[in-house]
Homo-oligomer: A and B are copies of this chain.
């Protein structure tokens, strides 16, 4: 099993490196960097240390170029690349390797909606029909057969997991008001003044509120699959965490329901899927899932309104961990292989 990582020096790439280094079914990791190829992985990412070495046979411990990676004929490609560039760069792999794309390029099937969110048509429209939206707890059956998997965004993952079972059950109506809090790693590893330590510590703010964030489109188009009558207002906020995401969602109930009935709906939908952790009667905290691939979910019915609470690690279940989970499902590995079930302290 040979796995390529594109964009190794970004945060999602760095997490992929760590998860795959410990993965029991991955034999060889091929880390690609267009800017730092030829350098030892551990000098570019000192945290990885020697952990990666034993899985870098052909790469001899170094980052490699895209061309070298293509020549190594990988089984799976993880693309941690910018939106609108990712699908194009991945083209040499389509049809040969399973591609798990962490960008948005395959997430929205409707060309017009994609263009509204990203300012232009999807980059590989001809491949859209065969791609699958990789929200693992919802689309596992399709993922098992897909060769192009669109790994969901962090906000969509955290927002959709508590909403979809209730929307599908016809329990919700009207306007969904979702407020999200995200750690700063969601802004990526680019050098920007507004991402500096001194700009983000002791600071919080909303950004791209209501119906203006790109992920708004991704979330609403997924919700509409289950209940086309729902409206959405989604407001993300930056909070001074490195990693972590919390979504609080307030929505009217279409019919009276008890907290216990909601529990049963979730249990029916998620069964014993390992990474959805229902914590009724508590309010989930992001530290409980830090480093884990879990999504912890709770809820409270208050009169004719239901409040939903969900937390993930934005870099794990919200990105690289779910990507590995998608690989596990696609290749028939144990779903939890290489992924953590507990949060670091």
Chain A residues in the interface with B (C-beta under 8 A): 11, 14-15, 18, 21-22, 46-52, 175, 177, 179, 181, 183-185, 189-193, 195-207, 209-212, 233, 235, 237, 239-244, 246, 248, 250, 274, 277, 279, 282-292, 294, 296, 300, 302-303, 305, 307, 309, 311, 315, 340-345
Contact = CB atoms under 8 A, between A and B. Distances in A.
Given A49-B341, A307-B209, A290 B189 contact: no
Given A197-B201, A279-B46, A286-B204, A181 B248 contact: no
Given A246-B204, A309-B206, A287 B191 contact: no
A344 B344 contact: yes
Nearest to A252: B175
A200 B303 CA distance: 31
Given A185-B345, A345-B11, A345-B242, A287 B206 contact: no
A341 B21 CA distance: 10
Contacts of A288: 46-47, 49
A313 B290 CA distance: 16
Interface centre among A184, A274, A287, A300, by most chain B C-beta atoms within 10 angstroms, is: A287
A52 B241 CA distance: 26
Chain copies in complex: 4
A205 B286 contact: yes
Contacts of A207: 283
Contacts of A202: 183, 201-202, 241-244, 286-287, 290
Contacts of A305: 175, 210, 233
A174 to B, nearest CB: 9
A285 B203 contact: yes
9 contacts: A11-B345, A47-B345, A179-B235, A191-B195, A195-B196, A204-B244, A211-B303, A233-B302, A344-B344
A287 B49 contact: no
Contacts of A286: 202-205
Given A179-B248, A242-B201, A246-B205, A345 B282 contact: no
A208 B185 CA distance: 27
Contact of A179 (B179, B190, B311): B179
A313 to B, nearest CB: 10
B277 A18 contact: no
B248 A50 contact: no
B181 A307 contact: no
A113 to B, nearest CB: 17
A290 B201 CA distance: 12
A166 B294 CA distance: 41
A239 B181 contact: yes
Across the A-B interface, the 3 shortest Cβ-Cβ residue pairs: A47-B343, A51-B341, A203-B287
A191 B187 CA distance: 14
Nearest to A301: B210
Given A204-B246, A290-B202, A344 B191 contact: no
Given A191-B191, A204-B286, 12 more contacts: A18-B345, A46-B282, A47-B343, A50-B274, A50-B341, A175-B305, A191-B196, A196-B197, A201-B202, A242-B345, A291-B291, A315-B345
Contact of A210 (B307, B340, B345): B307
